């Protein structure tokens, strides 16, 4: 049997034919070659599976008949990787890549070089910018922009998170310095499998399958921090995320309000519910009281906004009370194992 490569690239696909051809083509020209690609298809109906099998026969595909949600699909991919690990590979790596993220040829190699720099690094992200694609004169045109999608996660005292640099223009000098960040966006993140196994819940899942509509990557980043794993930013690892709405990552409050108008009511409800669950699961009691006033004011502002403008979102957030026993159980599993002082986590907010 052929030994499994060191890096396993996992892509969760859901009707991804709009961008997958460029994404897979970008992987085929990576300078770093010790990797395999696994696509978890989550109930696509646009021919994604047939395209991959016909055009990229070396890419493994797991087909699901329905949409599993990103968290559960990623766990499915991780289970597949664990089942096929080469015992000789003592430090396997996982690249979680969005179905709409196109990597430059040096992307993967630069991520691997950064994570190999220190055994305590659990995740690495790169410099992710925005791109658009469309038809022009009958030909497919891809345009790489100079606007950032993310260069890592920013945490605020209110408990809000944002993608660092989202929507800002790259002037050639911004975000060019490597270093530690709170966490990385799951759209294009390299993880040490050892770290994912370390922060997994008792059922073996690294991603919380209670998250269906997003934020499972922020939850994972926070859990990695709580359990002592570092996250790093590698600016020379460049990739592009295709955008169709002109937005960009997790952004500031006013831009966030504008982007909410472009999403469905159910999507807004799921995102808001998941933000609240992420906070409840991961905030340390000491940090809660340390940042009580910004947390209180931020929560009050959201509550007023939801009550007057998005009442259905308010109802989605109230569903947390129904799920609270599960939230509390997972919280105990994590904080029962941590030796990281609250001040070490709190300094990032």
Q: What is the pLDDT of residues 225-281, one digit of tens each?
A: 999 999 999 999 999 999 875 455 555 555 565 566 666 667 777 788 889 999 999
Specify whether 80 is located in the same domain as 177.
yes
Q: CATH code at 81?
A: 3.90.550.10
Specify whether 259 is located in the same domain as 180.
no
Specify whether 268 is located in the same domain as 141.
no
The C-alpha atoms of residue 279 and residue 299 are separated, in whole angstroms, by: 11
110, 126, 101, 252: which is closest to 184 by C-alpha?
A: 126
What string of H, E and C letters represents the secondary structure of 294-344?
A: HHHHHHHHHHHHHHHHCHHHHHHHHCHHHHHHHHHHHHHHHHCCCCCCHHH
Specify whether 66 is located in the same domain as 209.
yes
Length of the chain: 349
Specify whether 70 is located in the same domain as 198.
yes
- Asked if residue 153 belongs to a domain, the reply is yes
Specify whether 139 is located in the same domain as 195.
yes
Please give the pLDDT value at position 319: 79
CB atoms within 10 A of CB 278: 24
- Asked if residue 1 belongs to a domain, the reply is no
Q: What is the pLDDT of residues 119-149, one digit of tens each?
A: 999 999 999 999 998 877 777 888 899 999 9
The pTM is what? 0.91
Domain encompassing residue 340: 254-346
What's the number of domains the chain is made of? 2
- Asked if residue 2 belongs to a domain, the reply is no
Tokens of 218: 């922020």
Specify whether 202 is located in the same domain as 99.
yes
**Last residue of a domain, which of 200, 230, 248?**
248
- Mean pLDDT, contiguous 10-residue spans, the chain (349 residues): 81 94 96 96 94 95 94 97 84 96 98 96 98 80 92 95 94 94 96 97 95 91 98 98 66 58 69 90 95 92 82 77 92 95 95
Please give the helix or strand (H or E) that residue 4 lies within, else none. Answer: none
Specify whether 118 is located in the same domain as 204.
yes
Specify whether 15 is located in the same domain as 162.
yes
Three-state DSSP at 15 gives coil
Tokens of 325: 């026993």
What CA–CA distances, in Å, run from 165 to 153, 197, 204, 243? 9, 30, 34, 15
**Last residue of a domain, which of 196, 219, 248?**
248
Specify whether 43 is located in the same domain as 172.
yes
Three-state DSSP at 150 gives strand
Specify whether 50 is located in the same domain as 180.
yes
**Last residue of a domain, which of 232, 248, 264?**
248
- Asked if residue 17 belongs to a domain, the reply is yes
- Asked if residue 117 belongs to a domain, the reply is yes
Specify whether 281 is located in the same domain as 311.
yes
């Amino acid at each position: 049997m052929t030994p499994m490569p060191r890096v396993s690239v996992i892509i969760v696909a859901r009707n991804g034919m709009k961008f997958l051809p460029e994404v897979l083509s970008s992987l085929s020209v990576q300078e770093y070659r010790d990797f395999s690609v696994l696509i978890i298809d989550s109930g696509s109906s646009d021919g994604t599976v047939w395209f991959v099998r016909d055009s990229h026969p070396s890419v493994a595909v797991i087909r699901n008949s329905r949409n599993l949600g990103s968290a559960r699909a990623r766990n499915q991919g991780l289970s597949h990787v664990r089942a096929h690990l080469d015992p000789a590979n003592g430090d396997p790596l996982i690249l979680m890549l969005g179905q709409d993220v196109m990597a430059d040829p040096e992307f993967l190699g630069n991520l691997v070089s950064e994570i190999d720099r220190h055994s305590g690094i659990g995740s690495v992200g790169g410099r992710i910018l925005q791109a658009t694609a469309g038809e022009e004169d009958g030909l497919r045109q891809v345009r790489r922009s100079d606007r950032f999608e993310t260069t890592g996660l920013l945490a605020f005292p209110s408990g809000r998170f944002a993608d660092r640099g989202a929507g800002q223009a790259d002037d050639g000098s911004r975000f060019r310095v490597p270093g530690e960040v709170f966490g990385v966006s799951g759209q294009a993140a390299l993880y040490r499998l050892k770290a994912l196994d370390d922060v997994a819940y008792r059922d073996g899942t690294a991603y919380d399958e209670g998250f269906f509509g997003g934020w499972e990557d922020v939850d994972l980043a926070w859990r990695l921090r709580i359990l002592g794993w570092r996250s790093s930013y590698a600016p020379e690892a460049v990739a592009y995320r295709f955008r169709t709405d002109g937005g960009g990552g997790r952004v500031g409050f006013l831009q966030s309000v504008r982007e909410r108008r472009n999403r469905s009511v159910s999507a807004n409800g799921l995102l808001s519910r998941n933000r609240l669950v992420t906070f409840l699961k991961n905030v340390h009691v000491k940090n809660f009281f340390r940042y009580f006033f910004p947390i209180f004011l931020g929560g009050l502002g959201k509550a007023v906004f939801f009550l007057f403008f998005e009442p259905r979102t308010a109802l989605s957030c109230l569903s947390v009370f129904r799920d609270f026993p599960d939230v509390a159980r997972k919280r105990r599993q994590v904080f029962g194992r941590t030796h990281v002082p609250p001040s070490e986590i709190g300094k990032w907010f």
